[in-house]
Amino acid sequence: MPVAPPPPRSLPLTALRAFEAAARLGGFAAAAAELGVTPGAVTAQVKALEETLGAALFERQSKGVRLTALGAAAAGGMTEAFDALARAEAVLRGRAAPQVVHVATLPAVAQLWLSPRLPALRAAAPEISVSITALEAPPNLKRAPYDLSLFPAETGGQLVAADAILPVCAPALAARLKRPQDLADLPCLSDASWAEDWPRWLAAAGVAMQARGPVFSLYALAVEEAVNGAGVLMGHAPLVAGHLADGRLVAPFALALPLAAGLRLWSARPLAKGSAAARVAAFLAARPGAAV
């Protein structure tokens, strides 16, 4: 019955946020990734929270963690609360800078698809300032401060560009490629995050071979190398359209394998008619099939 000397402070917001993310994503590592900190930081936050509560929120298991009954009871409300906070934050951001549109997309899309379209967008709506963030994976739009998100997916959002894969190379190299089998003689460039492209296409082409060649972690770099004649790249139609159009790259084979996952555009919230984000979205979605 102590007349508690330190008036009970409210729990630290950072720790609550870490707990919420870990609960929602099912692990500290995933939470750390979402919050943009190291896993150790999340561990520490959750541990501190558990200590001030005097009760465990997660059961530690050999592989990952699992919510305790207490954690599970609290998680839902926390998620709701932080969702509400993110919404309020979006209102704040949107009203404070109504002419700024934040777009999240893959690095490859940013450089090879979005970037070439920006001059036209700037010309069409000079008062809008588009800020692009390259991410390896789609952000959680309920939380991350982006207005638009542009990622490959099979469903959801709005289709902005269909995708198909086809081998492309510098014109000088094309002469040596009569049949798909000839690929065995040349380096096959590929991107680390699209490792499945070559096997897929080769299977569709009916060729029993393994593609060998340098692997890049940045697709735009692979494209550059292909232009330089370093080998044959498995091209994604929307991303190499410009290079094909101006002849820096050519497609030695007719087969373009359509992919189920096209480039799709999501908006964080329903777009207010006439808002800058709505106009950018409309601009990007204008010509779903077209090359630039």
Helix (H, G, I), strand (E, B) or coil at 218: coil
Q: Does 123 bind a second copy (CB under 8 A)?
A: no
Angle of the 13-25 helix axis to the 39-53 helix axis, nearest 10 = 110
65-67/148-153 β-pairing: unpaired
Pick from 52, 47, 56: which is nearest to 74 by CA?
Answer: 56
Token pair in block for residue 123:
């010309």
Nearer residue to a second copy within complex by CB, 68 or 193:
68
Residue that has been written with the tokens 């510098």 in this structure: 170
Under rule CB under 8 A, residue 253 binds a second copy: no
Task: In whole angstroms, give the CA distance from residue 92 to residue 176.
Answer: 58
Angle at 135 between CA 133 and CA 137, to 5 degrees: 145
Q: E strand or H helix at 258, and its extent?
A: strand 257-258
Q: How far apart are CA 141 and CA 86, in angstroms?
A: 9
Give the Å distances, CA to CA, from 224 to 11, 22, 111, 187. 51, 39, 12, 14
If binding is defined by CB under 7 A, does position 43 make contact with DNA? yes
In the shown chain, the binding pattern of residues 144 to 173 toward a second copy, with x for contact by CB under 8 A and - for none, equals xxx---------------------------
For 100, how many CA atoms within 13 A lie in the half-sphere containing its CB? 14
> Considering the rule CB under 7 A, would residue 195 count as an interface residue with DNA?
no
Number of residues that bind a second copy (CB under 8 A): 52
Of 8-16, 154-162, 188-196, 232-240, which segment contacts DNA by CB under 7 A?
8-16
Nearer residue to DNA within complex by CB, 46 or 226: 46
Residue 210: CB partners within 8 Å, gap ≥ 6?
199
Among 6, 63, 96, 273, binds DNA (CB under 7 A): 63
List the one residue from 51, 52, 55, 60 that touches DNA (CB under 7 A): 60
Q: Is 65 near DNA (CB under 7 A)?
A: yes
By C-beta, is 31 or 233 nearer to DNA? 31
> Does 52 contact DNA by CB under 7 A?
no
- With CB under 5 to 8 Å by kind, the binding choice for 122 among a second copy, DNA, none is a second copy
Phi/psi of residue 32, nearest 5 degrees: -60, -45
Q: Which stretch binds a second copy (CB under 8 A): 25-33, 40-48, 93-101, 210-218?
A: 93-101
Site for DNA contains 149 (CB under 7 A)? no
**Distance (Å) of CA 82 to CA 87, 128, 141:** 8, 29, 13
Binders of a second copy in range 27-86 (CB under 8 A): 36, 53-55, 70, 73-74, 77-78, 80-82, 84-86
List of residues contacting a second copy (CB under 8 A): 1-4, 7-11, 13-14, 16-17, 36, 53-55, 70, 73-74, 77-78, 80-82, 84-89, 91-93, 95-97, 102, 110, 118, 122, 129-135, 143-146
List of residues contacting DNA (CB under 7 A): 12-15, 18, 27-30, 35-41, 43-48, 58, 60, 62-65
